[in-house]
Structure 1
Amino acid sequence: MKQSFDYQIRHIQLAESMDLPPISTNETGWYLVFWWRQIPIGHLFVEPGDVITPDELAEKCWQAIQPTLLAYRASQTESALTDGAATTRPANLQEVLSTTLSTYDLESLPAEVPISVVICTRNRAADLQIALQALKDLPCKPAEIVVVDNAPTDNSTARVVEKFPDVIYCHEPRPGLDIARNSGIRMATMPVMAYVDDDVQVHAHWAYHIWKTFQDESVAAMTGLVIAAELNTEAQLIFEKHWSFNRGYIDKTYDAAYLNRTLFAGPPIWEIGAGANMAFRRDLFATTGYFDERLDVGAAGCNGDSEMWFRILTHGYSVHYNPRAVVFHKHRQQLPALKKQLFSYMRGHTAAALIQQAYHPSAGYRRHVFKSLPLYYLHYLKAGFPSYGFRYQTIGMEIRGALSGVLFYLKNRNRPSQPNV
Structure 2
Amino acid sequence: MNPRISLCICTYNRPVDLDKCLSSVYAAHPRPNEVIVSDDSADAQPAQAVVARYPGVIYQRGPSQGLGANRNACLRAVTQDYVLFIDDDVCVEPDFFARAVSVLASLPERTIVTGYELNHRSEPVCKVTPHNPDFWGFQHVLPLGDYHALVINSTFFPAALFESIKFDEKLRYGSDEIDVARHAISCGYRIQYSEDLYVHHYPSPVNRDEYQSYTEASRLYATFKAYWHYEKAIVKSSIFLLLAPPKLCLALVRRTGFRGCYAAFKSTSLALRYIMTP
Fold in common (TM above 0.5): yes
Aligned to 1:155: 45
> Secondary structure of the equivalent of 1:118?
strand
CA pair 372-135 structure 1, distance change in 2 beyond 3 A: same
CA pair 125-197 structure 1, distance change in 2 beyond 3 A: same
> Secondary structure of the equivalent of 1:142?
coil
2:6 and 2:33 in contact (8 A); partners too: yes
CA pair 377-333 structure 1, distance change in 2 beyond 3 A: same
Matched, 1:128 2:18: yes
* Partner Cα distance (1:219, 1:373) in 2: 36
Identity %: 19
CA pair 202-376 structure 1, distance change in 2 beyond 3 A: same
Matched, 1:280 2:157: yes
2:44 and 2:61 in contact (8 A); partners too: no
Aligned to 1:189: 79
Aligned to 1:406: 268
Deviation at 1:267, TM superposition (A): 6.9
1:119 and 1:147 in contact (8 A); partners too: yes
CA pair 366-220 structure 1, distance change in 2 beyond 3 A: farther
Matched, 1:310 2:182: yes
CA pair 411-121 structure 1, distance change in 2 beyond 3 A: same
Whichever residue aligns with residue 12 of structure 2, its letter is: R
* Partner Cα distance (2:10, 2:58) in 1: 12
Deviation at 1:320, TM superposition (A): 1.9
Structure 2 unpaired stretches of 5+: 142-148
Count of residues in correspondence between the two structures: 268
CA pair 415-381 structure 1, distance change in 2 beyond 3 A: closer
The correspondence of residues 304-343 of structure 1 with structure 2, limited to 5 A, is: 304-332=176-204, 341-343=211-213
Deviation at 1:179, TM superposition (A): 1.1
> Secondary structure of the equivalent of 2:4?
strand
* Partner Cα distance (1:347, 1:303) in 2: 9
Deviation at 1:356, TM superposition (A): 2.2
Aligned to 2:169: 293
Aligned to 1:354: 224
> Secondary structure of the equivalent of 1:140?
coil
> Secondary structure of the equivalent of 1:222?
strand
Whichever residue aligns with residue 120 of structure 2, its letter is: A
TM-score, structure 1 length as denominator? 0.55
* Partner Cα distance (1:130, 1:324) in 2: 22
* Partner Cα distance (1:374, 1:198) in 2: 35
> Secondary structure of the equivalent of 1:283?
helix
The correspondence of residues 132-143 of structure 1 with structure 2, limited to 5 A, is: 132-143=22-33
Deviation at 1:370, TM superposition (A): 4.1
- Give deviations 1:76-127, integer Å, cap 9, x for gaps: xxxxxxxxxxxxxxxxxxxxxxxxxxxxxxxxxx9x8610000001121100
Q: Output the aligned Cα RMSD.
A: 3.5
**Rg larger in structure:** 1
Deviation at 1:276, TM superposition (A): 3.1
* Partner Cα distance (1:410, 1:303) in 2: 16
1:119 and 1:198 in contact (8 A); partners too: yes
Deviation at 1:138, TM superposition (A): 0.6
CA pair 270-121 structure 1, distance change in 2 beyond 3 A: farther
Deviation at 1:151, TM superposition (A): 5.0
2:99 and 2:196 in contact (8 A); partners too: yes
1:119 and 1:148 in contact (8 A); partners too: yes
Matched, 1:175 2:175: no
2:218 and 2:271 in contact (8 A); partners too: no
> Secondary structure of the equivalent of 1:276?
helix
Matched, 1:223 2:114: yes
Deviation at 1:409, TM superposition (A): 3.0
Whichever residue aligns with residue 53 of structure 2, its letter is: K
Whichever residue aligns with residue 229 of structure 1, its letter is: H
Whichever residue aligns with residue 226 of structure 1, its letter is: E
